[in-house]
Chains A and B, each alone.
Chain A
C-alpha cells in the first residue's frame, strides 16, 4: 500500500513516517513542495494521502478527489461517513486523511489512529519546546532587571532578587512581570 504524507514540517513528517514504517507500512513518501503537489500525487498514485490540516493545499486535494470520483476511481475521505468520532479526533490532532476506496476499513482505521497519536505526540513536543523557550526568555528578563536594580540601588545580586521577589508577593504578580516593569521603567527614565 502506497502512502503519501503532505507536510511542510520535516520533523512532524519524519515522526509520522517512522510510525508508519514501524507499523509495517513501508511504501511511504513525503511531499513538501506544494507547487507541484498535484503532479507528484498523480505520479505516485497513492492509496492514502495524509495531510497536515493547516496546509492550504487541502482544497487542492478536495478537487482531485472530485475528479477521481468521475474519471479514476471512487474515493472515501477520513474513515467512514458514520465514523464522526474518528473525524473529530483527526481534526483535533491536526491531520486529515484522504483514502482511496477499496481498502479494508480496519487498515484505514489503524493508519488514522496511528496518525492521530503521532500528531498528538508532535504537538506535545512542540508545546514543551515552546515552554522551555519561554522559560529561558523569562530567566533572561529577570537577570536583566536584577542588573538594573543592582546598579540603580547599589544592591548585591541576592538583595536585588529578594527585592523583586518581595515586590512580586506584595503585588500578587510573577517575578517575571516585576522584572518587565523594571525594564520598562528604566527605559522611560533614560
Chain B
C-alpha cells in the first residue's frame, strides 16, 4: 500500500446495484485501503461512458455491455475499457401495464411463471393487434447496449415476436419509466431496481418476470476503467477491488435495513429504504393487489462469486450485439470482447476468494435456446430463428 492516499473519481447512476461502491466509501473500506474516493452521481449512461472515456472519471459504475461496446468501438468512440470487477449480476425485471397483463393472461397457455409461456402469450397478443390494425406495443429499456435490451429481446423472440418488426423498443431513462407506463407511452419495460417496484406500488404495472427467471447468471453492472489507467495504476486497482470485495460481503452479511439506509441517501440512490430492502432480499411485490414473489438470486452482488468477471459473460453480451445487428460477427471481435472482463486483475487483487462453479449447465443458464458456448458465435446464433445477423 502506498503511504499517500490515492484520489479517485468514480461516476455512478443512482441504482441499487451500485451498492458495493456506496458501502466501500460510506463504511470506510476504501479509506482503509488508502483510497480517497469521490463518488459522482450522473444522469445518463452516455454521460458516465463519455466522462470515463475521456478521463474525467478514473472508474465508473457502468452497464456491462457498454464496457464491451466501448472497447470494440461499437456505437460510439472506441476506447479500450477493462472491467476487473463485476458490481452486480441479474437484478432486472420485466413489468407490463395492467391492460397488457390482462390481454396476455387471456392468451396464456401454460404457467404464468414460465417465460416461454408468457412470451408465446405476448406473440398472440401481438398477432391479434396486427389483425386489428392497432398500433404496435411499445416497450421501454434503458440503453441500446444494456442487459435490459438483450433480456427483453431474447424473451420476446423466444415466443416468436420479432423485437424490431413486431413491437417498438424505446430507450427511456429509468426515472421516466414509471411515468411513461402510467401515461400509456409504453406498454411494458425492462429495468433494474427500484423502478419495477415503484410501478407496482403505484398500481400501474405488474411484474411479469425477474430477469433471473430468464437467465440464471447475467453480468449486469461492471466496475469499468480505461485500460491505460488499469495498466498504469495496478496497486490502486487492486486496493479498490479489495475494498469492493469487503463491501460486497458487508452487503450480503449485514442487516439489510442498515444497508438499505445507506443506499436510500439522496446523494446515493435516493428512494425509500423499504423498497431497497425488498430489492436486497429479492422479495418483490409483483401485482398491485399485493402478491409477492421471492428469489434469493434476484440480485447477486458478492454471492456465488458474482463479483469475479467471467469472460464467457462478455462473450455472451457480444453475441447479443451480433444477434441484433449492433456488431459484426468476427473471431477477432469475440476475442476482444472476452479480454474486457479481466478475471486476471480480480485474481491478482483477491487471490483467496473462492469462486464456486455455476450451479448448472453453461455460464448463462438461459430459459430457452441452446446452452451458450463461446467457441463459434455464428453457430450459436444460427440456432435462433429470429435474429438480424449473421
**Which A residue's beta carbon lies closest to that of B149?**
A63
Is B44's CB under 8 angstroms from A59's CB?
yes
B142–A59 touching, CB < 8 Å: yes
Q: Which residues of A contact B142 (CB under 8 A)?
A: 59
Q: Mark A32-65, 1 if CB is under 8 A from B, else 0.
A: 0011001000000000000001111111111101
| A91 engages B171 (CB within 8 Å) | no
**Is residue A84 contacting chain B, with contact meaning CB distance below 8 A?**
yes
**Residue A87 interfacial (CB < 8 Å):** yes
Whether A63 touches B44, Cβ cut-off 8 Å, given contacts A56-B176, A96-B50, is no
Number of A positions contacting B (CB below 8 A): 26
Contacts of A81 in B (CB 8 A): 73, 77-78
- Whether a CB of chain A sits under 8 angstroms from the CB of B305 is no
* Contacting pair A63 B170 (CB below 8 A): yes
Let me know if A117 is at the binding interface, CB within 8 A: no
Secondary structure call for the B interface:
loop
Cα A61 to Cα B75 in complex, Å, equals 12
Query: Any chain A CB within 8 A of the CB of B282?
Result: no
Chain B residues, CB < 8 A from A60: 170-173
A93 to chain B, nearest CB (A): 12
Q: Which of the residues A35, A66, A77 comes within 8 Å of B77, measured between beta carbons?
A: A77
- Contacts A59-B171, A59-B173, A81-B77 known; A91 to B54 CB distance under 8 Å? yes
A70 in the interface (beta carbon within 8 A)? yes
Name the A residues within 8 Å of B175 (CB-CB): 56
Question: CB distance B54 to A38 under 8 Å?
Answer: no
Known: A66-B75, A70-B325. A59 touches B54 (CB 8 A): no
Please name the residue on chain B nearest to A88 by beta carbon: B54
The reply to whether A96 and B46 contact each other, CB–CB distance below 8 Å, is yes
Which positions 167-197 of chain B face chain A at CB distance < 8 Å? 170-173, 175-176, 185
A78 part of interface (Cβ distance < 8 Å): yes
Assess the A87–B77 pair: CB atoms within 8 A. Answer: yes
B contact residues around A58 at 8 Å (CB): 43-44, 46-47
Collect the chain A residues with CB atoms within 8 Å of residue B173's CB. Answer: 56-57, 59-60
* Cβ contact of B144, chosen from A34, A56, A62, A77, cutoff 8 A: A62
Q: Which of A56, A63, A70, A87 is the one whose CB lies under 8 Å from B50?
A: A87
Q: Is the interface of A mostly helix, strand, loop or mixed?
A: helix
Q: Are A66 and B176 within 8 A (Cβ)?
A: no
Docked complex Cα distance between A56 and B174 (Å): 9
Contact at B46–A66, with CB atoms within 8 Å? Answer: no
Asked whether any CB of chain A lies closer than 8 Å to the CB of B252, the reply is no
Q: Which of B299-337 contact A (CB under 8 A)?
A: 325-326
Q: Mark A61-81, 1 if CB is under 8 A from B, else 0.
A: 111011000100000011001
Q: Please, how many angstroms separate the alpha-carbon atoms of A35 and B185 in the complex?
A: 9
Q: Which residues of B contact A62 (CB under 8 A)?
A: 45-46, 75-76, 143-144, 171
Bound together, the chains give a CA A59 to CA B63 distance in angstroms of 12
Contact of A56 among B43, B54, B55 (CB under 8 A): B43
Q: Which of B326-352 contact A (CB under 8 A)?
A: 326
Contacts of A38 in B (CB 8 A): 170
Q: Taking CB as reference atom, which chain B residue is nearest A53?
A: B47
A84 contacts across to B, CB distance below 8 A: 54, 77
Contact A91 B51 (CB under 8 A): yes
B141 to chain A, nearest CB (A): 9
Task: List A contacts of B55 (CB < 8 A).
Answer: 88
Q: How far is the CA of A6 from the CA of B173 in the complex (A)?
A: 16
A62 to B44, CA, bound (A): 10
- Which residue of chain A has the shortest Cβ distance to B42 in the bound complex? A54
| CB nearest neighbor in B for A54 | B43
Chain A residues near B47 (CB-CB < 8 A): 53-54, 58
Interchain CB contact under 8 A, B43 and A91: no
A70 to B389, CA, bound (A): 12
Does B56 lie at the interface of the complex (its beta carbon under 8 Å from any beta carbon of A)?
A: yes
List chain A residues, Cβ under 8 A from B54: 84, 87-88, 91
- The answer to whether B185 and A63 have CB atoms under 8 Å apart is no
CA distance A8 to B51 in the complex (A): 21
Could you tell me the distance between the alpha carbons of A17 and B190 in the complex, rounded to whole angstroms? 37
Contacts of B53 in A (CB 8 A): 87
For the complex, what is the distance from the CA of A87 to the CA of B54, rounded to whole Å? 8
Report which of B43, B73, B75, B77 forms a contact with A78, defined as CB distance below 8 A: B77
B 37-68 to A, binary, CB cutoff 8 A, 1 in contact else 0: 00000011111001101111000000000000
Measured CB to CB, the closest approach of chain B to A185, in angstroms, equals 30
Between A and B, 9 residue pairs with Cβ closer than 8 Å are: A60-B173, A66-B144, A70-B325, A77-B77, A78-B77, A81-B73, A81-B78, A84-B54, A96-B50
Q: Which 10 A-B pairs have the closest CB atoms?
A: A63-B171, A56-B173, A58-B46, A66-B144, A58-B44, A56-B43, A59-B44, A63-B144, A88-B54, A60-B171
